[in-house]
Structure 1
Amino acid sequence: MPDTGQLTQLIVEFYEKLSSWEHCVVRDKGLTLPQVHALEILGTHKALRMKELAERMGVTTGTLTVLADRLEKAGMIRRKPHDKDRRSILVELTEQGQLIFEEHDELHNQLTRDITANLTDEERQTLKGILIKMNREF
């Protein structure tokens, strides 16, 4: 079994490289990382209650309200009343928000293709399995 310290170092190094890449890509769009994170979640899960979106982002509803205000003002999301729960507000992407999500998602896909280009199909499958197991721990 590899040394935990070495694994930690490799995970941190990968995180730092991925984070740096993400910051550069987001900055080029004039957005913040939390704003893009919200667009990614809404692009994947469609309309969500504000509370659900806040939970998925790991932020308070107060923090999300400020972020949502900015995204709504920029024309990327819209709020609408929930059909079955008058107390809840749903948040969803606008066409512009959907386009930003799709562009960013394709950048992620291209990055994945680039960084796994030297892996065999078997190694990709192994990596996928390992990442699934690791993600379950969060």
Structure 2
Amino acid sequence: MNSHDTESGLNHAIVEFYEKLSSWEHAIVREQGISLSHVHTLEALGFHGAMRMKELAEKIGVTTGTLTVQVEKLVAAGLVERLPNETDRRSVRVGLTAQGQTLFQAHSDQHHALTAELTADFSEQERGVLLSFFERMNRHF
């Protein structure tokens, strides 16, 4: 296989994996009754803890205006709460409520189960190599 074929094959495999993962994620989120963008907001807060709106917007790649609308809906749903910012009284932080933490954990558990299923036939060494490849690719974003 020449380098063009390899690059083309990699491109196809990455796109196919993304489409399959995205389809799986949409199906899982539909069962939870919230939007995918809301789940991504919950994931960022679940992984990183409470943070200012600007920081959260940067983490999930949206504008603060878009995030404000999302946070309003998540607050109304009882999944997110506004918290005082001890270092800057002019700004607020947002964090998960207990209900939001429960939903985040359930979604995270589903991701772990999928990862275990997808890599069940991999050796520990192969899993380590795959991890290093994903880490290297993720550094480019």
TM-score normalised to the size of structure 1?
Answer: 0.97
String of CA shifts for 1:78-107, please: whole Å, max 9, x gaps. 002211101211000000000000000000
What residue in structure 2 maps to residue 41 of structure 1?
A: 44
What residue in structure 2 maps to residue 21 of structure 1?
A: 24
Aligned counterparts of 2:47 and 2:13: Cα–Cα separation in 1: 29
Residue correspondence of structure 1 range 121-132 to structure 2 within 5 A: 121-132=124-135
Give the total of aligned pairs: 138
String of CA shifts for 1:91-130, please: whole Å, max 9, x gaps. 0000000000000000000000000001111110110111
Kindly state the Cα deviation for residue 3 of structure 1 after the two structures are TM-superposed.
2.0
Aligned counterparts of 1:68 and 1:20: Cα–Cα separation in 2: 24
Match status 1:114 vs 2:117? yes
Aligned counterparts of 2:40 and 2:108: Cα–Cα separation in 1: 11
Aligned counterparts of 2:55 and 2:47: Cα–Cα separation in 1: 13
Q: Report sequence identity in percent.
A: 51
Question: Runs in 1 of length 4+ with deviation above 6 angstroms?
Answer: none
What residue in structure 1 maps to residue 89 of structure 2?
A: 86
What residue in structure 1 maps to residue 74 of structure 2?
A: 71
Q: Identify which of 86, 99, 102 aligns with 1:99.
A: 102
Give 1:39's aligned amino acid: L
Aligned counterparts of 2:83 and 2:37: Cα–Cα separation in 1: 21
Give 2:27's aligned amino acid: C
SS at match of 2:112: helix
SS at match of 1:3: helix
Aligned counterparts of 1:66 and 1:103: Cα–Cα separation in 2: 24
Aligned counterparts of 2:61 and 2:43: Cα–Cα separation in 1: 14
Aligned counterparts of 2:140 and 2:67: Cα–Cα separation in 1: 25
